[in-house]
Amino acid sequence: MTELEQLRHDCMGIIRQAGGMARQRMYTATARRKADRSPVTDVDQAVQDFLMDAIARRFGDDAVISEETQSDPGRHASVATARRCWIIDPIDGTRNYVRKVPMFAVSVGLLSQGSPVVGWVYNPMTDQLYSASQGGGAWLDDARIYCSQTPPTGEVFIGLPSGREEPLPAVVHGWIDRMVQRATGSTALNLALVAAGCFDAVFGNNCKLWDIAAGAIIVQEAGGRLTDHQGRSYFPLDPAAYRNTPTPFLAGGSALVQYLVSELRAGRC
């Protein structure tokens, strides 16, 4: 077993525990609005603290970037100098969580020299853990998973953002007319569902690094691709230089992603 594969296994318990906290506390969570008006709860913070502590205890040489506090130099190695950096989204799908819609995920990715090498996306409500390590394949619990190979002319299931944050490009409205659209409200879950072949593709617009870091390696190991809207890879990137920059993306089987990128670039459907 490679070191990364071992690490994928070793951290499954922590990820499940974090998800368990979110599941148990959903009905008592208290919400507030962040500066950007998006919701956050005390449970987002508690799950994040749990994960940050667990990583600090086990991986003292590693840096951490987490959605709600970014980084905590007192607890972890410096993002500027560490070879590895953990990227955490404690609850992805907080809008669902606040409304008690049981669709959200804990998303944790590990970057090594700026590229995702291990990732976990856990759906606490279904107890499904999607994970991957570089070269070790993508997994749903104990079963290998693969992206679909649905051609653009087939019945394409596409995951889309749930709206409100940013208008969708006209091209995407065309996709809504032609394809089967699904909006889970969790980017990480959308990516996991692509890796498992449940969705054929996902389009994301107003996303951040913590929404995609884990999903990117899981999709890649499932035989697919995650690119920006121009078809370029986000990785490797310098985590120390990351400043909440949006990471709009397309993900899915390679041929379908290439096709969707070409439509986006041409601005037509």
Least distance CB 70 / ligand IPD (angstroms)? 14
In 3D, which of 7, 100, 98, 101 has the Cα closest to residue 54? 7
Residue with smaller CB distance to ligand IPD, 136 or 185: 185
From Ca ion, ligand IPD, none, which one binds at residue 38 (CB under 5 to 8 Å depending on kind)? ligand IPD
Helix or strand (DSSP H, E) at 260: helix 254-266
Among 8, 11, 65, 89, binds Ca ion (CB under 5 A): 89
In this chain, which of 15, 49, 66, 92 binds Ca ion, going by CB under 5 A? 92
Number of residues in the chain: 269
Specify the residue, 40 or 257, whose C-beta has the smaller distance to ligand IPD: 40
Q: Which of 43, 79, 44 is nearest to 64 (CA)?
A: 79
DSSP state of 48: H
Tell me if the bond preceding 169 is cis, omega within 30° of 0: no
| Cα separation, 44 vs 106, whole angstroms | 10
Contact 118, 220 (CB under 8 A): no
206 makes contact, choosing from ligand IPD, Ca ion, none, with CB < 5 to 8 Å by partner type, with: ligand IPD
Which x/- pattern over 202-241 shows residues binding Ca ion (rule: CB under 5 A)?
Answer: ---------x------------------------------
- Least distance to Ca ion from the beta carbon of 61, Å? 26
Please report whether residue 49 would count as binding Ca ion according to CB under 5 A.
no
The string of DSSP codes covering 138-197 is EEETTEE-------TTS--EEE---SSSSPPPHHHHHHHHHSEEE--S-HHHHHHHHHTT
Instruction: Point out which residues bind ligand IPD (CB under 6 A).
Output: 38, 89, 92-95, 161-162, 165, 185-187, 206-207, 211
Q: Which is nearer to Ca ion, 62 or 67 (CB)?
A: 67
The CB-of-95 to ligand IPD minimum distance in angstroms stands at 6
Count of residues binding Ca ion (CB under 5 A)?
Answer: 5
Helix orientation angle between 187-195 and 209-221, rounded to the nearest 10 degrees: 0
Quote the CA–CA distance of 96 and 104 in Å, as a whole number: 7
- The listed partner (Ca ion, ligand IPD, none) that binds 136, CB under 5 to 8 Å by sort, is none
Q: How far is the CB of 268 from Ca ion (least distance, A)?
A: 30
Binding site for Ca ion (CB under 5 A): 67, 89, 91-92, 211
